[in-house]
Amino acid sequence: MATGVCAFRRLAFLSTKHRGFLNVSTKHRSCIFTRHSSGWNYLPQSPPEELGEATKMNLFQAVTNALDISLAADPTTIIFGEDVAFGGVFRCTVGLAEKYGKERVFNTPLCEQGIVGFGIGAASAGATAVAEIQFADYIFPAFDQIINEAAKFRYRSGNIFDCGKLTIRAPWGAVGHGALYHSQSPEAFFAHIPGIKVVIPRGPIQAKGLLLSCIRDQNPCIFFEPKILYRSALEQVPIKDYTLPLSEAEVLVEGNDVTLVAWGTQVHVLREVVNLAQEKLGVSCELIDLQTILPWDIDTVAKSVTKTGRLLVAHEAPLTSGFAAEIASTIQTECFLNLEAPIQRVCGWDTPFPHIFEPFYLPDKWRCLDAIKKMINY
């Protein structure tokens, strides 16, 4: 905790200097400066009854299970990336190489551009290719392959060729101690690229269903896995093969006054904000998990905002040009006359992802609550 105290002191100085910008109320400081990304708890979800028997899995086990099902059901499925054969650094591919052979689950050199390039080739040739990028932060060397090749191959060839059987998985988001290069949330970069789909699950049930959807979708997909949830999110996951629809947001909590939109880890922060807002402000919030970032479910969000008149979007990635900007812009067009207050974006600050200041950087529940207050009092 010594580091935490130290961080607190430095931040106290910062917050005096930039109080308006930081907007941190004295009362809540002790919560913000805990030295990890907690401040929220994972609320296990019950599996849909129609999906039958379920067993306890955390998020990485749900991913493994989805990959296992894909390997078993589709003989053309191959899984590859850095260290996937021994189980992957996050244990998402544990046991798969032993079960299906090193011809189908194999390691690649440390070369992200090569991993994706290889995946594009394999998918174009008919394989169901599941590439792992070890961290979302490492995806940038493959940016050109994803944007200029994967996303455009179908369009450019007038649908003669495509690499729709490609899925790229990558651990994503803050983890409490990841610092600059193991914490980033790069979804907005890829949201700018027609031709690919970008999907982020909030827990094990969604991880399995959405990942299987991505693998089977005939478009190249990027599947970002909130790495802090790999072990901390634990719930009963149906054991059978099932998919969940892409490009459909899910309304998790119904409410009347404010619409809250998030994806991945941030959904759990906002779930607590729903309770806080009710308890402290008497405000009823509607919580939406966007799930698919591209192409996103405009209808569900617009319908909700039509009802509530207020929208808050929160994500870990920096504020400027984050995906919240796209949502805000679209919703003000769609729901202009329904809006009661300016749309609020509560996001990471416009800085590199900080190491010891992570709790300060993240859009925690107090910052979100503060934004709700602003909207209600507008």
Q: Is 289 a binder of another protein (CB under 8 A)?
A: no
* Site for another protein, residues 322 to 361, rule: CB under 8 A: 333-334
Round to whole Å and give the CA distance between 257 and 307: 8
Q: Is 20 a binder of another protein (CB under 8 A)?
A: no
Alpha carbon separation from 167 to 15, 120, 136, 194, 200 (Å, rounded): 43, 9, 14, 15, 13
Q: Is 218 a binder of another protein (CB under 8 A)?
A: yes
Where do the DSSP E strands lie in 214-265? 221-226, 234-238, 250-253, 258-262
Query: Contacting another protein (CB under 8 A), which of 23, 55, 148, 275?
Result: 148
Pairing of strands 250-253, 285-289: antiparallel
Query: Contacting another protein (CB under 8 A), which of 118, 323, 353, 360?
Result: 118
Comparing CB distances to another protein, the nearer of 14 and 298 is: 298
112 catalytic per annotation: yes
Q: Name the phi and psi angles at 273, rounded to 5.
A: -65, -35
Q: Is 109 a binder of another protein (CB under 8 A)?
A: yes
Query: Contacting another protein (CB under 8 A), which of 47, 82, 137, 154?
Result: 154
Q: Is 195 a binder of another protein (CB under 8 A)?
A: yes
13 contacts: CB under 8 Å, gap ≥ 6: none
49 contacts: CB under 8 Å, gap ≥ 6: none
Q: Is 114 a binder of another protein (CB under 8 A)?
A: yes
Number of residues that bind another protein (CB under 8 A): 36
* Range in contact with another protein (rule: CB under 8 A) among 107-115, 256-264, 272-280, 316-324: 107-115
**Both tokens of residue 249?**
């947001």
DSSP per-residue letters across 168-228 = EEEEES--SS--TTSS--THHHHTT-TT-EEE--SSHHHHHHHHHHHHHSSS-EEEEEETT
182 catalytic per annotation: yes
Closest CA to 287 of 268, 296, 279: 268
Classify the C-alpha dihedral 339-342-347-352 as positive or negative. positive
Q: Is 134 a binder of another protein (CB under 8 A)?
A: no
Least CB distance from residue 323 to another protein, whole Å?
Answer: 14
Q: Is 259 a binder of another protein (CB under 8 A)?
A: no
Q: Is 117 a binder of another protein (CB under 8 A)?
A: yes
Q: Is 124 a binder of another protein (CB under 8 A)?
A: yes
Catalytic residues, which ones? 112, 182
| Binding positions for another protein, rule: CB under 8 A | 108-109, 111, 113-114, 117-118, 124, 144, 148-149, 152, 154-162, 164, 194-195, 197, 217-219, 246-247, 295-298, 333-334
